[in-house]
Structure 1
Amino acid sequence: MVSSAITPTRTIAILIGVAVIAVAGFAVVRSGVFEPGTVQGAIPGPGSSSPSVSASRSPLASPSPTATAAPDPTTPAQIKAKNIADAKARLVEYYETTASVANNGYQDWESKLLPFWGHPDIRNSLRTAYTDYAKKSDYTTGAASVETLDVAKYRPDDAGFETVHLRACVDFGQVKNFSKDAEPIPRQAGAPTRYIFDYAMRHQGPDSVWTINQQVPHPEQAC
């Protein structure tokens, strides 16, 4: 297991809707076996992670007072390794922030989550959903587990705009959705709880952050 996530989240309808995401300006439309309005689950959330995920500190994280700064990578192999570790760490940070937002009824989601979204299609797809959840004060509890997190592709860039494609197997079986009155929102019959997500993480240049430029759920691909 790569990480165990204590996550709140909302519906997989969001995630399938966000399949209309783009990398390098080209929209990718993904329609799964399941209709967006009939699938409920969760986005991966926060939790402890193995060194392969979080050994390299996220660009937004504050250094520990006793931490010794690692030397800057110089060789292509070292740069690639650091970029992959940073992209994974940034994705885990996104999960943690999403969990915090959903735990709080999706209040202030925009200021907390927009910095993670690197393409307008992601922002446009999620803005409507999160705004609606915030108005209704829906919230979630439970534990989602990121069972695996593998590198599918790495694209270097001399200007510092590298891309790391990650494939994650996520288990949402413990996630529960609730209305503001603490009434459970039941999972739709037949909704998958464990399946594959593809992410494209884009570095936004030297001394900048990694962003999520593509998020594609594959509810038809059990893992």
Structure 2
Amino acid sequence: MFTEFCPKLRELPMVSSAITPKRTIAVLIGVAVIAVGAFAIVRSGVFEPESVQGAIPGPGSSSPSASASPSPSASEEAPTPSASPTTPGQIKAQNIADAKARLVKYYETTAQVANNGYKDWDTELRPFWGHPALRSSLRAAYTQSAASGDYTTGAASIETMNVTEYKASDVGNEEVHLNACVDFGQVRNFSEGGEEVPRASGAPSRYQFDYVMRHQGKDSYWTVNDQSPHPEQAC
């Protein structure tokens, strides 16, 4: 199972049950439930950060937590799940809230890595990637940045997160599809010597992404299984 690019599920670190999805209890009589696979199929156009300069998020050097929280508009749009969800609607709301929180944590961790010169990027970010194609698409850029001593400051912010699709599951592999507006306007890129690398002329700083967040089963957590940038779609 993708031994080169992604750890086996049993090797993934355990996390709080707070982000384990809640599912409607169902009794399946005479039906064999077959798990097709732990990872969703990633579309061909995976994110290549070098295609849009300044698109890799990074925190402010003095306040790395700034990028950890979405803007008020994103928070306000998040569902308010029950403390102990039991109905299908409550369970769905809990899963959506958990998937959104995981995406925010992904941005926070990516920002910390970028702010620290991309050191240990693979160790820090691998648990967030649910498909090897995501790591593959970022590997060259992150490896080169780490070797060159590049780093970022500023703070990318998730302005909005809208659910475009929700897929329930009886085996723990729920999916939440999100359309997010991300603002990279405060992100600044620097070389090792502290010289700022200017954003390419005409490169957008605020545009939309489509994300597929997928849960990896009982006692596991949410991962990013697909991310598709749309720099042509301003937001």
Alpha carbons of structure 1 residues 210 and 135: separation in structure 2 relative to 1, 3 Å? same
Structure 1 alignment gaps of length 5 or more: 1-22, 57-68
Deviations 1:149-190 (A, max 9, x none): 111110101111000001011111121100010011111111
Deviation (angstroms), 1:38 = 5.4
Deviation (angstroms), 1:83 = 0.5
Alpha carbons of structure 1 residues 98 and 108: separation in structure 2 relative to 1, 3 Å? same
Question: Is the Cα contact below 8 Å between 2:161 and 2:180 reproduced in 1?
Answer: yes
Alpha carbons of structure 1 residues 201 and 162: separation in structure 2 relative to 1, 3 Å? same
Q: Number of matched residues?
A: 186
> Which consecutive segments of 4 or more residues in structure 1 shift more than 4 A?
35-38, 51-56
Alpha carbons of structure 1 residues 25 and 97: separation in structure 2 relative to 1, 3 Å? closer
Report what 2:69 is aligned to.
48
Matched, 1:199 2:199: no
Identity %: 63
Report what 2:113 is aligned to.
101
TM-score by length of 1: 0.76
Alpha-carbon distance in structure 2 between the residues aligned to 1:31 and 1:156: 24
Alpha-carbon distance in structure 1 between the residues aligned to 2:69 and 2:152: 19
Alpha-carbon distance in structure 2 between the residues aligned to 1:31 and 1:134: 21
Alpha carbons of structure 1 residues 70 and 38: separation in structure 2 relative to 1, 3 Å? closer
Alpha-carbon distance in structure 2 between the residues aligned to 1:184 and 1:114: 28
1:88 equivalent among 81, 100, 108: 100
Question: Is the Cα contact below 8 Å between 2:151 and 2:190 reproduced in 1?
Answer: yes
TM-score by length of 2: 0.72
Deviation (angstroms), 1:54 = 9.4
Question: Greater Rg, structure 1 or structure 2?
Answer: 2
* Superposition map of 1:150-189 within 5 A: 150-189=162-201
Alpha-carbon distance in structure 2 between the residues aligned to 1:113 and 1:36: 15
Alpha-carbon distance in structure 1 between the residues aligned to 2:143 and 2:79: 30
Question: Is the Cα contact below 8 Å between 2:77 and 2:160 reproduced in 1?
Answer: no
Deviation (angstroms), 1:96 = 0.6
Structure 2 alignment gaps of length 5 or more: 1-37, 59-66
Deviation (angstroms), 1:31 = 8.5
Question: Is the Cα contact below 8 Å between 1:54 and 1:88 reproduced in 2?
Answer: no
Question: Is the Cα contact below 8 Å between 2:166 and 2:177 reproduced in 1?
Answer: yes
CA RMSD of aligned residues (A): 2.5
Alpha carbons of structure 1 residues 168 and 209: separation in structure 2 relative to 1, 3 Å? same
Alpha carbons of structure 1 residues 131 and 160: separation in structure 2 relative to 1, 3 Å? same
Matched, 1:218 2:234: no
Matched, 1:76 2:88: yes
Question: Aligned letter for 1:134?
Answer: A
Alpha carbons of structure 1 residues 138 and 95: separation in structure 2 relative to 1, 3 Å? same
Deviation (angstroms), 1:39 = 2.5
- The structure where strand makes up a greater share of residues is 1
